[in-house]
Amino acid sequence: MRQNKTFLSWVFAGLVVLFSFLLVPSALADTAPDAEGGDPEGELYVIGTDTTFAPFEFRDPAGELVGIDIDLMKAIAEDQGFRVEFRSMGFNAALQALTANQVDGVIAGAGITEERQQVYDFSEPYFTGELTIAALEGSGISGWEDLEGESVAVKTGSLSEEWAREMQQGYDFEINALDQTTTMVESVKSGHDIALVDDLPIIAYGIQQGSGLELVSEPEPTGDYGFLVNKDQNQELLAMFNEGLANLQESGEYQEILDHYIGGESGPDPSTFFGLLATSMPALMVGLRNTLLITGISFAIAMALGLMFGFMKISSNIVLRGIATAFIAVFRGTPILVWAFFFYFGLPQLISVPISIWVAGALTLSLNGAAYIAEIVRGSVQSVDPGQTEAARSLALTQGQAMRKVVLPQAFKMMTPSLINQLVIMLKDSSLLLAIGFGELLYQAQQIYAANFRTTEVLLIVAAIYFVAVWLLTALANFVDRRVNN
């Protein structure tokens, strides 16, 4: 027993030291921008953007954030003498980050609408959007009248959704609102939707990359894109954007940026599956590193909190039991995504202090995991035969000594398999953090297939990486279990 306790103490000490070192690079990783540009000596502005909206923002094969919006913002920053750092987090998440003052502005193909103008200040339009319908090649779809009685994919919160809902009044079709263009394309290819409605440049880029779709209606101008800031805030940045945009349009650089991404000659990615694997692996390994880091940090915190609340749950003190019961009920009874958005977007507005995406991610996973670990601890301790405690007390051990020397060693043996299972669950739950722009494994996969439209192949690679990671992690945990509970 003494050897087991000594080994267990060294394990926990090692974990403390390990995660102390891991917290440093994780904090540094959070400060690293997705992309940057402009005048290195100028004032810094943090700009939020979408993650997968090619050709306006996407990642090239080298993993660099590129696109019309990115290049345009960099050129304006260079022209006006300020510096920009981009945060790639998704369209809706970028708007929430702006509202929470996590970023100074957003450029993400945002349509200028009356509703948004009540909350944000927009720049002068930098692109006029055109919406159109796309369907599978040879589908026979030629316009809105062919969509009657069918399901049509649109992008959530976009001008395409607004336009489709207007047309829905004249044509009886269903609307399937999805979050990304690539998701919409896959939904059409899999037969869930008969067609999709999206911006012409987006659809044209996908066709160029081999999406398998074709345009089936004439484009219709629907609105202008603009750069946006919070209402009555960062007016100097807005003015510099407008002035820089005018200068780029006059010099012809604006048109050069558009020509580079729209109407180019590049075609589908011709590489084989193994070629795709080779080019994707560097970015996916970055995502895997972040996944393992956030899981390890969160599990260590969850273990400490879970043990505390687990013992509070079986305490004779009614106040401690009430606190533990409330904690477990709240975090087991609410979705992880709700807390991810709250910690990253809601909490900064309440405390007026920006929250690191690593801190938000760790809080989300660790508090959720702690609620489940607390129940694991409670159930394991209460599963030990009460006769064990009575026998220990008959040998003149105090209640505390009986718990430490007799009950807990047996309870720990029983709870270990459940703790290993909880660790695996937290590893997979970390993929939900992509909703707030955390650069974990699935987030990196989205960046890849948004640019090449090889969704199925990329997701198969990601699934294999998750399988190997979970298998190795489970094998390591089982090894520690055998050493500790021999």
Query: Domain containing 103 — which CATH number?
Result: 3.40.190.10
Residue ending a domain, choose from 242, 261, 280: 261
Residue 267 lies in a domain: no
Whether 344 and 199 share a structural domain: no
Is 100 part of any domain? yes
Question: Could you tell me the CATH number of the domain that includes residue 332?
Answer: 1.10.3720.10
Which pLDDT score, from 0 to 100, does residue 381 have?
A: 79
The tally of domains found in the chain comes to: 3
Is the same domain home to 14 and 47? Answer: no
Q: How far apart are CA 257 and CA 245, in angstroms?
A: 12
Q: Are residues 188 and 312 in the same domain?
A: no
State in Å, rounded, how far the first CA of the chain is from the last one: 10
The length of the chain, given as a count of residues: 486
| Assigned domain for 42 exists | yes
What's the pTM value of the predicted model, to 2 decimals? 0.74
Range of weakest confidence among 8-22, 224-238, 403-417: 8-22
Mean pLDDT of 137-153: 89
Residue 189 carries which side chain, given as an amino acid letter? K
Task: Please report whether residue 22 resides in a domain.
Answer: yes
Q: What is the pLDDT of residues 22-70, one digit of tens each?
A: 444 444 444 456 667 777 888 999 999 987 788 898 887 667 888 899 9
Asked whether residue 112 carries a pLDDT value surpassing 50, the answer given is: yes
Higher-pLDDT residue of 447 and 360 is 360
Better-predicted residue by pLDDT, 171 or 453: 171
Average pLDDT over residues 101-112: 90
Whether 122 and 132 map to the same domain: the answer is no
Q: Are 368 and 429 in contact (CB under 8 A)?
A: yes
The model's confidence at residue 20, banded by pLDDT at 50, 70 and 90, is very low
Helix axes 235-251, 253-261, angle to 10 degrees: 80
Same domain for 276 and 362, yes or no, is yes
Query: Are 207 and 231 members of one domain?
Result: no
pLDDT at residue 402, as a whole number = 66
Residues 293, 156 share a domain: no
Task: State how far the Cα of 396 lies from the Cα of 97, in Å rounded to an integer.
Answer: 60
Q: Sign (positive/negative) of CA torsion 132, 136, 141, 146?
A: negative
461 belongs to a structural domain? yes
214 and 98 within one domain:
no
pLDDT digits (tens, 9 = 90+) for 443-460: 888 888 877 788 888 999
- The amino acid sitting at 273 is F
pLDDT on residue 28: 40
Q: How far apart are CA 344 and CA 96, in angstroms?
A: 9
Which residues lie closer than 8 Å to 287 by C-beta, 6 or more apart?
439, 440, 441, 442, 443, 444, 445
Q: Judge contact between 254 and 245, C-beta under 8 A.
A: yes
Region of poorest pLDDT, from 96-110, 156-170, 472-486:
472-486
Strands 195-199 and 35-38 turn out to be unpaired
Q: Are residues 13 and 109 in the same domain?
A: no
Where helices occur in 342-454 by DSSP H, the ranges are: 347-351, 357-383, 386-394, 399-402, 408-429, 441-452
Q: Which pair of structure tokens corresponds to residue 163? A: 């336009």
Shared domain check, 296 and 238: no
Q: What is the maximum alpha-carbon separation in the chain?
A: 92
pLDDT number for residue 400? 65
Does 401 fall in a domain? Answer: yes
Please check whether residue 266 lies inside any domain of the structure: no
> Do 443 and 476 share a domain, yes or no?
yes
User: Is 286 inside a domain boundary?
Assistant: yes
CA 110 to chain centre: 20
The answer to which of 110-119, 148-157, 255-264, 312-321 has the lowest mean pLDDT is: 255-264
How crowded is the C-beta side of 181, counted as CA atoms within 13 Å? 36
Please give the mean pLDDT across all residues of the chain.
Answer: 84
Domain that holds residue 166: 127-223
In whole angstroms, give the CA distance from residue 231 to residue 428: 38
Average pLDDT of the residues in 111-140: 90
Does 440 lie in the same domain as 384?
yes
pLDDT, tens digit, for every residue of 199-250?
Answer: 888 888 888 888 888 888 888 887 889 999 999 999 999 999 999 999 999 9
* pLDDT for residue 27: 42
